[in-house]
Amino acid sequence: MSTLSVNTSFNISLQFTSAAFHTRMFAWLIDGVILIIYQWGASQFMHAVLGQGAQSSGVDYLLYLPVFCYHLLFEILNHGQSLGKMALGIRVVSADGREEDNAQAMVRWLMRTIDFGGVLGIALMIIYQSYVTGSILIIGNLLAFIFFLTTKHNQRLGDLAAGTVVVYKKLPYDLNDTIFREVRAENYVVSFPQVMKLSDNDINIIDNVVKRHKKSDIYNYLSSVS
């Protein structure tokens, strides 16, 4: 796992941890189970209502539309999270820390067949003897796995093409770990007016130094402020 650092407009560096392989795999499996259950339930309902006419009229093919668009719709409408990602506490974000936009979600969705096409490629080769298409899908799947293991932020091909990273949603800290403090007094007066000359970045550096001093009990940290 690696860390994605994002500098905010307040000169505060937020750090996101990229999701590990097993976490993303379990999220993918959860999504797969959900889609299988949906397809089975919808198919049973359609055939119970329309009988064999559902398949002959082509209505049966409508069942595949939500399955086909599942990841795209959830990433666009649910802030980069499918149901599986929600369950595992991970989400897709832009590589610069912003929320994933619609264009990035579309690119990731279009690349899914290559990134996860290994099983489909084997099936095409065995059932339909489509060796060229099957080989392309298998090679693409292997490349996606290699890139995931070797890129800094564990990005598959779709992530690299879209400029996205899958990270853990929960930050390892909260606002109390930053320079933000809630001031309750309405008529609050700054005790040391000289502090107003400091920038947000200066205050953040001092705050970090003081916190390190408290955690490590090394007194020379304070001397570095002066």
Per-residue pLDDT of the chain (226 residues; tens, 9 = 90+): 678 776 665 556 677 889 998 999 999 999 999 999 998 888 888 777 766 655 555 666 777 788 889 999 999 999 999 999 999 999 999 988 788 999 999 999 999 988 988 888 998 899 888 899 999 999 999 998 998 889 988 999 999 999 999 999 875 555 455 555 555 656 767 777 777 777 767 777 777 777 766 655 555 555 555 5
What is the C-alpha separation between 224 and 55, in angstroms, rounded? 75
pTM given for the model: 0.71
DSSP state, residue 135:
H
Cα(148)–Cα(120) distance, rounded to whole angstroms?
A: 20
Q: Which amino acid is at 155?
A: Q
User: Distance between the two ends of the chain, CA-based, in angstroms?
Assistant: 36
List of residues 6+ apart from 19 with CB closer than 8 A: 1, 88, 90, 154, 166, 167, 168
